Structure formats: structure tokens, C-alpha cells
Structure 1
Amino acid sequence: MTDLLEEAVSRMDRAVDADPDLKNIRRLLSLPHEVIERELSLRRADGKTEYARAWRCRYNTLKGPTKGGIRFDSSATSEEVSRLGFLMTLKCALLDLPFGGAKGAVRINPGKLSTKERYQLAETYGELFSDLLRPDHDVAAPDVATSSDDMEAMLAGIEQVANGEARGALTGKPEDMGGISLRKGATGRGAVLILDRLAPEYGLTLEGATIAVQGIGKAGLEFARLAREAGARIVAMADSSGTISDPDGLDIQAVAEGKSDGTLDYTGPSEAIISQEADILCLAAISDTITDANAPDLNCRMILEIANAAISPNADAVLVREGIAVGPDILFNSGGVTASYLEWLSFCRGGRDHVPEMETKWRDRLITSADSLAATIDECEGDWRLAATLYAMRDLNVIAESQGVFEV
């Protein structure tokens, strides 16, 4: 087992300590069902051929077809793809979605590709993994550095070798290809919805709270915009170039425009966001942002994980010692996969679902999951990550036992 995955699955040990009946499902979830690694070729504009490693991890299939995004990232590895597939497995169980977890990636720097090369890359990925990507087997979606345009290109690749059900193998598609408007900004919107629901459980209220946000991308900006509308004050935001701050609260529209045209007025380095004084630190950028090395520098009451695996397991003990609450990723970034589920469901039903109906279902699913955790938090002594892990493992354990997976 790789270090990244081993660290991630080690968090299940506390759930087994709380409920020894989960020892079998812990063992089953320790390794992925399958990780497929293939080589992708890309014809560059200069006529040369570039080769890139590409992966698809189908982590667990207990609940049904696997589900997970595809990212283009120059630092992508098989280990990271497996870790993210594991987290998606827990997330789908926590949200009671009929999916197992999956993840995909191509190790490439998308910023160095032309529009034509990028389309070719996504199309080739779709063709390369068309044997897996089917609505009843494995369903993909946008992830880091991918978008609805990439899903359109992947669909073209799948359709070269697949039948008419190819559209059901992808979510986050353009709306004229079966995508849904609900999917846009769903991760950030979901995080605000859940935070507003659970803030009193953390001893906070969203109105009047001060928030610092790491990440000025789609999720971070949408979260910041809606949190500000709900009465919070966004006192700092950061990206890879630096941190911007204003104790009176940032104008999120101005931040978005400054990010777009490259005119943000940074007041400090990127890492300054970690020690920013705020009620809530929202991590909406990259994995492993908080580690045991920088956790002592935190100056917040709560950390919200919107990015997957934003807190390394080795930081957990420090956060407990410092009394910093954690809103875990498998709950707080679940708005995206829930919207994707509704897009997939609409395909399965022949596209007859209506947007208002889907919006209601989306909200209800997120609130129900948040309330379920709130109802069991006392069992976990206030540890929300443990509560989320315990809930997800119990769900998967019941299914595994009903399927006769474990020997009696």
C-alpha cells in the first residue's frame, strides 16, 4: 500500500475503535478494487508526439457503478488517484448515493496546451478508457483543471467506440448535451448550505463570522460569495501567487475580476493564509495544505475542507490538541457529486427531470446527511471527521454483509 493511501485509510482505525463490528469493512476498504494505468499519446502543434500517463481508479463497487472526477495535473500519481477514489467511496456512502468511489487523472500540465491540443487530450482519454466509462459501470466528471468543455471532448472520444449510452458515462457536461445548470458552482454552494446548517453545532453562526479562504478558483469564489451574502466577512483569500486581505471584508466580485485580469493586490505570501486570524479557515485549493509542521501556526476556530484531503492525517492530533474543529471534506465538498448524481439520474430517466425539482432534491440530500451526522456527533465526542467516517463505513458494512461479502 502506498503512503498516501495508507495514511488516508488509517483514519478508519478510530472508527473501528468506536465500533469493532467495522473491522471487516475496514479491511475491504484498505485497497482499491482496481487501478488502471495506461499511456496516452498527444500530437502537439509542432508535429511531435508527447506521451503522458493516465489513470482510472475504481475504488469500490459495493453500492453500484463507480463515480469520480478526472483531473489534468502535472503532479498526478497512481497513489493520489487511489487516495481520492477512497475518499469518494466514503463520500458517496455518506450521502447515500448509489455509487462506489472512483477517480481519474492525466499527468500533464494543461496550461501548456493549446485549445486544440487540450480537446485532443480529453478526447483521447475518453477513447482510451471507453471500456470502463459506461453509465452502469463507471461515471466520470470534471475535477481539478477540467471543465464541461473537457467532458464534451471526452464524450466524443467515448462515442467513437461506444453506443448511444455514452452521455450517461459523464456528468458535468454542457447543458445542450445533457448537463444541468445545478452542477455549476455546486461544490461551493453546498459547502455554504451545510455550514449554515451545522454552524450552531460548532458554536458558530455564519452571520458575522470572519472567514479566510485558500483558493480563488471556482469553488473558493462561489463559497466566498455566498458566505458573504449570508452575512459572513471574508477577511482574506489566497492563491498560488499570494494572499489578499482586508479586515473590513473583501469585495468578492472585485476579487474575481482581479483574479481574471491578473490585477490582484497581494498583501502577503500565499502561506500567510494559514496563520490568518479568522473564525473559519476554508481550504479550497490543494491537498495536504495543513500538516503537522504548519498546524501550530493556525489562528482559527474551525477548518473547512472543500479541497479533497486538504488536511494531512499527521495534523489531526495537533488540531485536537489546539481545539480546532474540522468540517471534513467528504461532507463539505459533497455538493458537486450530489449534483452529478442528479444529472446521471436524469439521463437514466430519459431527461424528464425539471430543474426546480432537482434543486430541491439536491438541498434535501445535503441537509439530510448533515443532520444525520449531527445526530451522531455525541457518540464521536464532537469529532466531525470521525462521525462522517463512522457513518459511511456503517453504510458500506451493511451492504457488504447483505451481499455475503464477509465469511460468517
Structure 2
Amino acid sequence: MRQENLFTETQKQFKEIADILNLEPEIIRQLEEPQRLIKFQIPVKMDNGKIKIFYGFRAQHNNVLGPYKGGIRFHPKVSEDEVKALSIMMTWKCALVNLPFGGGKGGVIVEPKELSEKELERISRGYVRGVFPWIGPEVDIPAPDINTNPKIMAWMVDEYSKLKGEDSPAAFTGKPLEVWGLEGREEATGYGGAVILEKLKEKFNLNPKETTLAIQGFGNVGSNFARFAFQKGFKIIALSEDVGGIYAEAGLNPEKVLECREEKGEIAGCYCVGSVCDTNFGKQISNEQLLEMDVDILVPAAVENVITEENAPKIRAKYIIEMANGPITAGAEKILEKRGILSVPDILANAGGVAASYFEWLQSKQKEKWQKERTLNELSEILGKAFDEVWELSQKEEIKFKQAAYLSAIGRVVKAMKD
């Protein structure tokens, strides 16, 4: 499968909308790439006493609507282009769901599985020292992303507070509960996707018991989305993770699949119905097979650019909920549109995470604890309202749903720049 460059794809997408909005060249120049890209070395003393140099990035796309906001990922494939693209997507995402943030994204080129806990802590604190002059509660508020978690955020906020000389819990989100973390933050992205699923059910009169789902990706986002979809009565017939997955015509219970993975180390081959969870039933499938399955709703919840011009003609789902960032290339999107497949874009489908980060930021600033029920209720309201606005625009202008989402988001940013 040909791998597209995410930054190129993001720019293509933006320029298509810029043409429709007839944007001035100076506005296009300001929005087609980040306002700032910070690249820096992170020298880390390893457990063997030697110093190893890691490389970190932070892209800050646009802050016209508020402070930059976006995650930090630790991954061997982190690159300048990747963080630039993801920072742009964060700007559109925050604008679409009406949050007072702009887009940012960061990362470190590292394989965290190869580090001890002490080395991971040193690299986390080193990252904060590298970006310290350009972040803060009213400037740029990082959060967890791939291979980063609440514990890493706790180290980072502690390092930031030391450098600042005062307690600054609002400088980071996605923190543990004991340091002003938010109840419900961990499942927020998956829950937000389930809110979108519920909206599709309303608009297209879907019967959950007869509506089949295939979910690619069974990490935090995919597993939580699967759990909430299952609770709502939808029939999940396929699940996968990076090493492959499982198909079961009778349907899968995500909780049982999680238990099976705990026991066996991977979900490939797990077949779970009722209390039976074994590898002797069902069918093992690859990620490529999952994408091309005959299901009602396809949910890419893993990595970017998995639906390309090569496999788009083979997609058989009627609806796609983009829980991953940028899972469909621009060329593939055109093929899907011609075939009448509706895509709910990532900037709406997975916005539950940044919406919850907004709640945590408010909580950390005001020192007021939110309960999980409040978090999930507010998420339902924000995402439900955003979906309805995009739906209305798509109907009024007679355009595709995904295009309406980008028109709405980019239009808001441009209006703020001109005001």
C-alpha cells in the first residue's frame, strides 16, 4: 500500500476548501503551514551512564481562537511533517466544535518500549525544558497522544511548575486525577465517537441490532468506542490491532475481547460470545481485510492514511467514522464520495478528546472538580451540536458532510482572523 505524506494530504484538503471560500493569498499563506515549528535536542542520561541525544518537535499552527492545543507523541516515526500536519488538523478540530483553542502538536523520535521508567521520565522532563519558553496555560497546552499517558503528563507538569516557580496544573491536560486530572478524560475520545454514532442512527433510522460495525484499532480510542457502541446495542463483527484481528459473524463483546487480550497478549483469533472466549472459533483477519469487509459502519481508529486510492474502490461500508487522525487520503475521499459513502471526518468524530481537555483546563484553572457524569453530558452536548450544525450546512448547500465540516471549521478561523 502506497503511504501518503500526511502533511501533503492536509495541505491538499485545506487548499480545496480555500478555493471554495475564495480565500485571499495572504490568508492561505498564513494557514497552509504552522506559525512556528520548534525543533530541539533532548540529551538524556541513560541508565548505563552514557548520554543519548533524542530529537523533539512542537508545531504551533494558529492561535487566533485561543492558546495552541494538542498532544505529544513518543514514537520512532515522529517527524517534522507529521507534527505540522497534526497541528493544522487540531486548529480545524477546535474551531469546528467551538473551543477557544488553536492547533498544536508535538513529539519525540523515540521507541518508548526500549526505555526504562527512569529514562522515560528524563526524556519527558527534557522535552518540557526544550519547549518551556513557548508553552503555558495561556500560550500552548500539551496533552497525551500516542505512547504518552497521564503519568508522563504528571512528570511534565511537575517540570513545568519547577521551571515556572509556581504550581501550574493548567499547563498540561490528560493528567492523573490527583493532579487536577479530569474524571472521564480517558474514555472521552471513544465516548465522543459513540455520540456521533448515535447521531448517524437518528439521521438514517438505523436499528442498532441490525447495524454491523468493523473497528480498526483497539487501543484507548478504539476499545472505548467499541465498548460504548456495544452498550448502545450495535453489532460489532470485526476488531483489529496492529498485528491483526478477529471477525465473528455472531458479534463480539469488546469487554470479553479485552479480557482475552490480557490473557493471550493479542486479540487476533479471540472469539468471544457470552462467557466463551477462545481462539478456536471465529476467523483471524488482517487489517486490510477488516477495511474491506461488508459492514454498515467502518471505524478506522488506528493510524493515518489507511484508506487510499488503491483500496477505496473495495470499501463496502455505507458510513465511515474517522476515529483516527487522517485515515482517508484526499484521493480516496473523492472515490468514496462518488460511491455515496458518507465519512464523518476526524475533526468531528474524535474531537471528544480535545473537548475533555478543555474541561480539564477549566477545572485546573478554577480548581473546581468535575464529576464524570458532567464530563460525558457536556461532551454529548458539544459534539451533538457540532454534528447538527455540519448536517444543516451540508443539506442547505447540498454538499458532502465531510466538506461541510471543513467549510465550517476553516470559515470560523478565517472570520476570526479578519475580525
Regarding TM over 0.5, the answer is: yes
Give how far 1:324 is off.
Answer: 1.5
**Counterpart in 1 of 2:281?**
none
| Residues 264 and 92 of structure 1: CA distance in aligned 2, closer, same or farther (over 3 Å) | closer
Match of 2:355 among 338, 353, 358: 338
Whole-angstrom distance in 1 between the partners of 2:181 and 2:43: 28
| Residues 126 and 256 of structure 1: CA distance in aligned 2, closer, same or farther (over 3 Å) | same
Q: Percent identity over the alignment?
A: 32
**Counterpart in 2 of 1:366?**
383
Greater mean alpha carbon deviation, residues 127-136 or residues 104-113 = 127-136
Greater mean alpha carbon deviation, residues 313-322 or residues 348-357 = 348-357
Match of 2:115 among 102, 113, 116: 113
Give how far 1:382 is off.
Answer: 4.7
Whole-angstrom distance in 2 between the partners of 1:22 and 1:393: 13
Q: Does 1:317 align with 2:334?
A: yes
- The code of the aligned residue for 1:173 comes to K
Give how far 1:380 is off.
Answer: 4.8
Greater mean alpha carbon deviation, residues 242-251 or residues 354-363 = 354-363
- Written as runs of structure 1 = structure 2, the 5 A alignment for 1:4-403 is 4-20=6-22, 25-201=27-203, 204-261=206-263, 262=265, 264-266=267-269, 267-351=284-368, 355-402=372-419
On the 8 A contact 1:25/1:396 being kept in 2, the answer is: no
On the 8 A contact 1:202/1:325 being kept in 2, the answer is: no
| Residues 123 and 48 of structure 1: CA distance in aligned 2, closer, same or farther (over 3 Å) | same
| Residues 337 and 206 of structure 1: CA distance in aligned 2, closer, same or farther (over 3 Å) | farther
Whole-angstrom distance in 2 between the partners of 1:248 and 1:31: 47
Where 1:285 maps in the other structure, the secondary structure is coil
Whole-angstrom distance in 2 between the partners of 1:354 and 1:370: 25
On the 8 A contact 1:208/1:231 being kept in 2, the answer is: no
Give how far 1:358 is off.
Answer: 4.0
- The code of the aligned residue for 2:334 comes to A
Whole-angstrom distance in 2 between the partners of 1:36 and 1:202: 45
On the 8 A contact 2:180/2:367 being kept in 1, the answer is: no
Gap regions ≥5 residues in structure 1: 403-408
Greater mean alpha carbon deviation, residues 12-21 or residues 334-343 = 12-21
On the 8 A contact 2:238/2:247 being kept in 1, the answer is: yes
Where 1:160 maps in the other structure, the secondary structure is helix
| Residues 202 and 293 of structure 1: CA distance in aligned 2, closer, same or farther (over 3 Å) | farther
On the 8 A contact 1:135/1:165 being kept in 2, the answer is: no
On the 8 A contact 2:188/2:376 being kept in 1, the answer is: no
Give how far 1:197 is off.
Answer: 1.6
On the 8 A contact 2:186/2:220 being kept in 1, the answer is: no
Where 1:130 maps in the other structure, the secondary structure is helix
**Counterpart in 1 of 2:276?**
none
| Residues 244 and 352 of structure 1: CA distance in aligned 2, closer, same or farther (over 3 Å) | closer
On the 8 A contact 1:280/1:303 being kept in 2, the answer is: yes
Greater mean alpha carbon deviation, residues 365-374 or residues 43-52 = 43-52
Give how far 1:12 is off.
Answer: 2.7
Whole-angstrom distance in 1 between the partners of 2:28 and 2:234: 39
Greater mean alpha carbon deviation, residues 118-127 or residues 228-237 = 118-127
Gap regions ≥5 residues in structure 2: 270-283
- The code of the aligned residue for 1:310 comes to P
Give how far 1:368 is off.
Answer: 1.2
Give how far 1:166 is off.
Answer: 2.6
Cα-to-partner distance string for 1:124-174 (whole Å, 9 max, x where unaligned):
212222222210100010111111011011122212311325311100100
Cα-to-partner distance string for 1:282-324 (whole Å, 9 max, x where unaligned):
0111111111112122121111111111111121121122222
Greater mean alpha carbon deviation, residues 63-72 or residues 348-357 = 348-357
Task: Give RMSD over aligned pairs.
Answer: 1.9
Q: Using structure 1 for the length normalisation, give the TM-score.
A: 0.93
Give how far 1:6 is off.
Answer: 3.2
On the 8 A contact 2:9/2:330 being kept in 1, the answer is: yes
| Residues 372 and 165 of structure 1: CA distance in aligned 2, closer, same or farther (over 3 Å) | farther
Where 1:300 maps in the other structure, the secondary structure is coil
Where 1:156 maps in the other structure, the secondary structure is helix
Whole-angstrom distance in 2 between the partners of 1:324 and 1:88: 24
Whole-angstrom distance in 2 between the partners of 1:43 and 1:326: 46
Where 2:163 maps in the other structure, the secondary structure is coil
Where 1:86 maps in the other structure, the secondary structure is helix
Whole-angstrom distance in 1 between the partners of 2:68 and 2:88: 11
- The code of the aligned residue for 1:278 comes to V
On the 8 A contact 2:245/2:267 being kept in 1, the answer is: no
Give how far 1:184 is off.
Answer: 1.5
Where 2:133 maps in the other structure, the secondary structure is coil
On the 8 A contact 1:22/1:394 being kept in 2, the answer is: no
- The code of the aligned residue for 2:303 comes to I
Cα-to-partner distance string for 1:341-395 (whole Å, 9 max, x where unaligned):
0110112223265554444333221111111111111245351211110001111
- The code of the aligned residue for 1:126 comes to V
**Counterpart in 2 of 1:405?**
none
| Residues 265 and 33 of structure 1: CA distance in aligned 2, closer, same or farther (over 3 Å) | closer
Where 2:168 maps in the other structure, the secondary structure is helix
